[in-house]
Structure 1
Amino acid sequence: MAEGMLYGVARKIIEELGSWAFKEVASLWNVEAELENIKNTVSTIQAVLRDAAEQQTHSHQVKDWLEKLKDAVYEVDDLLGEFFAEALRQGGTSENIAKKVRYLFSTPNRLVLRKEMSDKINAMKQKLNAIAEDRKLFHLKEYHVEPPVSMDREETHSFVLDEKVIGREDDKQAIIKLLLEPNNEENVSIVPIVGIGGLGKTTLAQFVYNDKNIKEHFELKMWICISDVFDVKMIIQKIISATGEKLEDHSMDKSQDQLRKIINQKKYLLVLDDVWNEDPHKWESLKDLLVGGAKGSKIVITTRARLVAEITCPVSIYTLKGLNEEQSWLLFKQIAFRKGQGQGTNNPRLEEIGREIVRKCQGIPLAIKSIGNLLRLEKTEHKWSYVNNNILEIASQQKNDIFPILKLSYDHLPSHLKSCFAFCSLFPKDYEIDKVTLIQLWIAQGFIRPSNKSQELEDVADEYFKDLLWRSFFEEGMGGLRYKMHDLIHDLAQLVAGAECTIITLDRNNFDEKTRHVSIPFYIDSSFIETSSLLVRAEKLRTCLLTFKSRNQYGAGEIDKSMMNKLILSCRRLRALGLCGVQIERVPDSIEKLIHLTYLDFSWNKNIETLPDAISRLWKLQTLKVNNCRNLKELPRDIRFLVGLRHLENSYCERLSHMPVGLGQMTCLQTLSSFVVRDNQASTSGPISSGLDELNSLNSLRGELQISNLRCLKDVYSKPSAANLRAKQYLDELTLKWHADNPFFCSVDDGDEKLLEDLEPHLNLKFLSVWGYGGVRFSSWLSLLTNLVSLDI
């Protein structure tokens, strides 16, 4: 099922092999033909993934072929990563990689490595070619552009029995109110109903459509099921047929003319059910032909994607929610307990199990109906318990029910979004996903590929996230940048990810050699990890995360140095390693063995005091997190060698005494949560910090920056203005602290006024906090911060 993830890795390989750096490599190795062959083979294989994914459901041979292909493509990615890591280990950067490659392969002592890598490339070429040749056995179709999605769904109609609609009376009245209120500007206004598949959008529209007040209010009513391709000509002809008129001519011009005559000066209600169109131009083309109705005419649109609703009418969007628990139970009881048998009251145990099933359906009427229909002829507690314990597996097998309906949303996704969505199955149900972290993890896996060089990875990933949010795959959490997945959407993510993404559980061994991304809940300790199959089968792992549902759970697990050594040596292909709150005291030097590592998170480990300099040899590292490591005293001394580091998150590291020398060379940095000015009177060991001038060139910094220990600036050799805060246009939030250890302490100091004046930020700043400032007057630049929304002094 996880063809989306495979597609993402294949796309990454093709782009890398087409880059100037790899062309330079090919020339030096004299393997231009081999690398070009690998690139073309992966491209050819990528083109058949869509068809292979569809055929594997009914062909074990295709399924086996896909597994072999998956292994081979991941091996290619590992091989390319191995080369880059070796080149960077010799002192290269992403900018001068070609020059460093020449050095790497020109000296005599590098000949062995050159031969070894060339042999690996040749072996890989032959392996891929053999797999590509096998594809011909299955007559797979090649799609070099995204193929249109075929909507395998029955056409809807406008009728529903009122007594079969449960729990939607309030929604019905809300929609009717929107339909009956007069239009202020245009003759025709639009009411989009948005919600995930199976929520009952069509049923609600039918409920409204047949209401007595609606029938009396509108002179003309029409119901059209869109579902598949949004073809304006076809929709026009469907509308004409829905009015009862005979289509006079099949040409576009005659059809639009006939439609406008039919609706001219008539107050009409048009329902467009199941709309997927995301092209605003197509929508405008249709809307222009529908504006001729009388004032008060309305168009109701049902859609799964908020993006579609925003295109049609961003003002009157009605977001449909799930049924509450009691409404869900009434619907389930109506389906599962046949009339006259009274099973719900005569067998309390069945009712108890039924209510558990209903809770798992999370208010989705189609899921409730699907399971209810499955159980309506069953009377045994055993069968009901079995269904309750295996809802995901059973529901996915129902051909015309909830999962096929939900999977339409997944099938409709572009390939680059499929991998991102499937990856989200790593987070537990009800988990509030931090958007920033998720984006960093997507980048770590190579899922984010900009269409041009000027785009930042984070900006492209943010667009990916918005696409999934607007297509109803995410819903907003309690606050900030945190989001959740509906339980059934999470089940869908698990279904399409298959064995590739796994959450480790205590009750069953759900980890196998196909698993490449794993998350470990907080309640599983190191002894379980060591005795399970995780370490034995971890060779192919690319992600290993510890996840927590809330902050008060940090610190529940524990991994000692020995256990961490075993984990590192077992998981050499990791791209992302998250070890939050596992009470590590020392990080072993073996961490440098993870040459592919791009994302590393040690947050909430209160016992860590120092990080080994071996971390500075993780040349591909892009994200390093040490948030809430409250006893961390210093960062790796040679961190400046991590020239590709984009995010250094070090919030709430209260004992951090200084920043490492050379930080200013890390111009790729977009996140630097905290910068600590060194107190040279309190600490004399190590090199003297060069002060705020380390910030001078870090003009790509985004989000939040805290500068603390400003009182110590007189003891270091730099001027406050050297921080160059005026050039940091992407910073949203700036916190200035005069004292790191006691932010509330303040002493009158005239010099503080000049210091603060020199710390003038860019006028884009939105949040400013100043702690322990000893001046009498605030700086003149405050009045220039016209975008400021919060000031805390």
Structure 2
Amino acid sequence: MGNICSISLPADRIVSSFWDGTTEHANYLRKLPENLVELGTAWERLKELRNDVKRKVDIAEREQMQPLDQVQGWLSRVETLETQVTQLIGDGTDEVEKKCLGGCCPRHCRTRYKLGKRVARKLKEVDILMSRRPSDVVAERLPSPRVGERPSEATVGMNSRIGKVWSSLHQEQVGIIGLYGLGGVGKTTLLTQINNAFTKRTHDFDFVIWATVSKNVNLENIQDDIWKKIGFCDDKWKSKSRDEKATSIWRVLSEKRFVLLLDDLWERLTLSDVGVPFQSKKNKIVFTTRSEEVCAQMEADKKIKVECLTWTESWELFRMKLGEDTLDFHPEIPELAQAVAQECCGLPLVLTTIGRGLVRRRRRNGSMGDKVFPLLKYSYDCLPTEVARSCFLYCSLFPEDYQMPKIILIYQWICEGFLGEFDDMEGAQNQGYNIIGTLIHACLLEETNNDYKVKLHDVIRDMALWIACGTGKEQHEFLVEAVCGLTEAPEVARWMEPKRISLIGNQIEKLTGSPNCPNLLTLFLRDNNLKMISDSFFQFMPNLRVLDLTRNSITELPRGISNLVSLQFLDLSHTKIKELPIELKNLDKLKCLGLVSMYELSSIPEQLISSLLMLQVINMFDCGICDGDEALVEELESLKYLHDLGVTITNVSAFKRLLSPDKLRSCISRLGLQNFNGSSSFNITSLSNVKNLQELHISNCGSLEDLEIDWVGEGKKTVESNYLQPWVGGHRKVFEVEGPNMGCFCSKP
């Protein structure tokens, strides 16, 4: 007989196993209402726990602590579960209510079974998350760099100065230290060296914080500088009010030891307004200023005057900037160095400026006086052309610390007549960029963080105004009262002689009368509060070429603007003008017209634009005109000399019309596409042929699902969502896309 293998199982285990499985599945059906209630209750408990954890995380973040990864993960899983549980409870409630046969049986047992099974499993997930809730420790304090090293060049004569400040910082009775001295003497350089010394020397401060103040104090900028060092400068921070920021800064710094380095104070800064606590001298504040009086206003425990360099230090610095080759080039150069050191007491800025200037020129050109500005003027005198000197002095019309867009500056130079060597706009622009490069290399202009803007150093601007307003043939040609708090324009008698007047950044509300200005070429009135200009105001300005009314509250232009028969540059951007007057047709020499962000503008007279036959630059981006796009494009086509065009288009047909003629397409540098609704597919790859396009802004095009741009051309390509500056140029490429249905946006090199 063959072997027989038998397996015997107890009958009760078989029955039990079968019964347990049957019961579990039956419970999915039978206990659905009960499980739904239990799931809802468990979920409410989990939400309460989640809220407690999130509250702890928020408190930790305010204290500059980093939430633990496991806590972030747990919160993320709870957030994911919330949608699922909410949907499941809703579906389960609906299913329970669906009964038939007198309300005793569900209509669809299979559906009810699946739903019951999902509810039971989701209840287990909630229980598991409850059991794995985070401990009381939800975050940790990350070590932050106590001080960040700032870039600096090689210096001369700083060791003794640093030692003096450093020893003062370690004196218990000293809390506030004021460093004061002449502009250009090296105060900022010294403060930079103090900052960097903290990276190399032992100290027990939690934070070493740098903030730049400058003449026009912006408390929120100072608060942002501080918070970047002690907190997380994210969108949540940026949305806070100034008082809220002050409270946050106070809460953190009141429990820390810190050193606050404030550069370029011009007046008393109330620390509590910023949020800086200063109840004890365990914390230190060091600031720089040109005025000893500010040291008293800040109640400095110690004042340290930053002296000019000694002769030995001056000579060392001068040799460093000059280089041995240049130093030996001409026998008069050592004599010049001695004159510099003696006549300005070794002012580092002057030594650096002249030294670098001589490296390029390798010859002495210009006389030296007995004051600082004549010494600074040496670099001005060494500029290669009179045009470059005129362009440099023109920069002094702008306020202190003002960042000048290069392209606007160049257009103003062109319209003033400085760049008349070239008949074509492109040639004049290139000449303008070359001059900007020359001024930067001569240390008379400074580059900013934005490669399309430049600025003047405070001392250099003061020197430029000294030249423009007080010496030689330029005397009385400039009237500059920018950011002076004026509520009324200067008296009429002062308008007679100047060629250039700048009243930027005041609070002037109206311009009345008829000032006689036979010489006036440039008038800057931007950033005031102008609400009214009388019809006769422009009556006696026959030679005015540049007029800037940007960022004012005027709602209409005076009809007397037709008297400005020589006007070539007119900027009305960011004003509240509702309609352009037909009298603008008289401005037949106009080359540049700015109408950026004129949101109230609802009407441009027919044939006005096309009548401006000499127009070469026009920026109409976001100017409020939403109808008549095609008629506008037709007028733009007729402009024979158009070179640079900025425009916003609101429909497809106008867009196609804009790109159809080669000449018009080649002029486009800034383009906005807005409110293109009703077209589900829209091909803008034709922009690949717009060689000079620098900025593209797409907004409120809700029906566009896919945009692809093949970009051809030179320059940096970036994606930005920043505020559109009027007439921004240079070589920047900007793509800005807004709208809920922007499915894809890509740029290809």
TM-score, normalization: structure 1?
0.44
The structure whose residues are more often helix, as a share, is 1
Structure with more relative contact order (C-alpha pairs < 8 Å, separation 6 or more): 1
TM-score, normalization: structure 2?
0.46
